Amino acid sequence: MQTGLIIGLLAGMLHAAAAQDRPAPVIVCFKNPDALKRDTLISAEHTLRRVEKRLGAPIRTVYGECPQIRAFVVGFVANPPAIHPPDVLGATRTAGDAILPDTRIFFRAAAAMLRNPSDQNQGIALGNIITHELYHYLKQTRHHDGSDLNCEFLTERQLLATR
Ligand SMILES: [Zn+2]
C-alpha cells in the first residue's frame, strides 16, 4: 500500500513536469502471461493508436519488460480473480485516491461479449477496454463521464468501435 502511493505520486509529478511542452508519450507495457494470440495483441495495439488524439497523449507500446517507472502496465489475463464479478472486463489498481498505472484486462470475459470473437475483433475490444482504463489513469479519476471512451458498462458495439 505504502509503495503504491509513492509510485502514484511520482507519476503525477513527472506528468506535471512534462505538461510544460508537448504531452509526454504514455508508455504502455503489454504483459501476456496467459499467451493471448499475437494477432490479437497487434489488433489491440492498432486500436490504442487510434485514440491517441482523444486521450491527449501519444502512446508507445512495448512488450514485456517496462523501461520506465511511469509506464502503464497492461496484463492480459484470461479470467478475473474471484474478488471480481466474473464478467468484469478490466481492473486498475488504486492506492487511496491515486489511480496506479497497473491494469489487468480479462480477455475471456471480453471475447464472451462478441458474437464474432475473431482475433481482430478481440483485439479491438481489448484496445477499447485499455483505453477506458487509461482514461481513469490519465485523468486520475474513478468516475465515468458517460462518453464512449469512458462508459461504466461497455456494449458490444462500443467494444468494437474503431472510430
Ligand atoms: Zn471504469
pLDDT at 93 over 90: yes
| pLDDT 10s digits, 104-140 | 999 999 999 999 999 999 999 999 999 999 999 999 9
Q: Decide if 67 is inside a domain.
A: yes
State in Å: Cα 25 to ligand 1 middle: 22
Which residues are CB-neighbours of 58 under 8 A, at least 6 positions away? Answer: 23, 25, 26, 52
State in Å: Cα 156 to ligand 1 middle: 16
Q: How many domains does the chain have?
A: 1
Q: Decide if 21 is inside a domain.
A: no
State in Å: Cα 92 to ligand 1 middle: 9
Q: Decide if 22 is inside a domain.
A: no
Say how far apart CA 78 and CA 158 lie, in whole Å. Answer: 21
Residue 38: give the domain boundaries: 2-16+27-159
| pLDDT 10s digits, 34-88 | 999 999 999 999 999 998 988 888 999 999 888 887 899 999 999 999 998 888 9
Say how far apart CA 103 and CA 90 lie, in whole Å. Answer: 7
How much is the pTM? 0.84
Give exposure, 111-122, as e/b (b: 16+ Cβ within 10 Å): bebeeebeebbb
CATH of the domain at 153: 3.40.390.10
Reduce the DSSP state of residue 93 to 3 states and report it.
Answer: strand
Say how far apart CA 63 and CA 28 lie, in whole Å. Answer: 8
Q: Decide if 10 is inside a domain.
A: yes
User: Looking at residue 153, what DSSP letter applies?
Assistant: S
State in Å: Cα 149 to ligand 1 middle: 10
Q: Contact at 8 Å (CB) between 42 and 11? A: no
